Amino acid sequence: MQFKRTKRNVNGVLLLDKPIGFSSNQALQKAKWLYQAAKAGHTGTLDPLATGLLPLCFGEATKFAHYLTDADKTYVATLKLGITTNTGDAEGEILERREVNVSRAQFEIACQLFLGEINQVPPMYSALKHEGKAMYEYARAGIEIERKSRLITIYRITVESFEQDVAVISVTCSKGTYIRTLAEDIGKELDCGAHLIGLRRIATANYKIAQTVTLEQLEAMTPEQREAALMSEDSTVLHLPVVILDDDSTFYLQQGQAVWKSGLVPQGLLRLYTEQQVFLGLGELAMDGKIAPKRLIRQMEN
């Protein structure tokens, strides 16, 4: 008879260094099991081939997970020039081999062509849905589905190293960017082809890879150490302006009522705190000048 673990109300953000070979969901389920957490979700898929920063939101933090899914991200990518594959990465079948006669200067010029807002066509081997099925399912069946290009932004590309037919670049980009596709497009621009042989996410929003823990480290921790490894729920929304509410306003806000705040209140979404610096959630300045509750967290009793 298998022992069933009791689920716990765990709240916060775990910055996981996802290992190679794990899907984002597999990594999530492993961490969720270690925490015995009742509720958890990840914030942007990393392919099994990729490693690096994968923020996992537990409990009340899941209410703000979309801010991390939508956030800008930074990757370190390793490109193999001269070879194209059907998946755009090292897991695929080789389609073509071509001679590589590219200098570092030529490679750097090609990279700069993709800076700014560009239209990118998502790859067939992706988790994007078409009529309820993931694109990769069609791709594996040999079916090509027309994909619409979408506008993304590449903020920065830095060439970290370049040696004959292998280049390492760091890329800061908007949500929805496929680094595999970027690698292929750079290869096309150089007329030699390319595919991705390594990918590591090193930043998401205000989170950095240096803050992460591995699954092995998590397994070795005591329950108290695991709790201490969690970031606070409000770490997901540090880009929003702060408003402090007095005790009366806090009470009425938590009853679902809009509240007054004296002084100049910023437009848009707001991070709301009590005078004791307890995070309440998000509010928004309404047309009548009051702060309306938008997404509040459930306060845990001590």
**Around Cβ 33, how many Cβ atoms within 10 Å?**
11
pLDDT for residue 226 is more than 70 = yes
pLDDT 10s digits, 65-102:
999 999 999 999 999 999 999 989 998 899 999 999 99
**Per-residue model confidence as pLDDT tens digits over 114-151:** 999 999 988 766 666 766 776 667 667 677 767 788 89
**What are the tens digits of pLDDT across the range 235-265?**
999 999 999 999 999 999 999 999 999 887 7
Q: Which of 47, 89, 185, 234 is catalytic?
A: 47
Which of 75, 79, 98, 97 has the alpha carbon at shortest distance from 89? Answer: 79
Helical spans, DSSP H, in 42-142: 65-69, 104-112, 135-140
Q: What is the pTM of this model?
A: 0.90
Instruction: Verify whether residue 185 is a known catalytic residue.
Output: no
Report all structural domains of the chain as residue ranges with CATH numbers, in order of start.
12-71+206-235 (3.30.2350.10), 73-204 (3.30.2350.10), 240-296 (2.30.130.10)
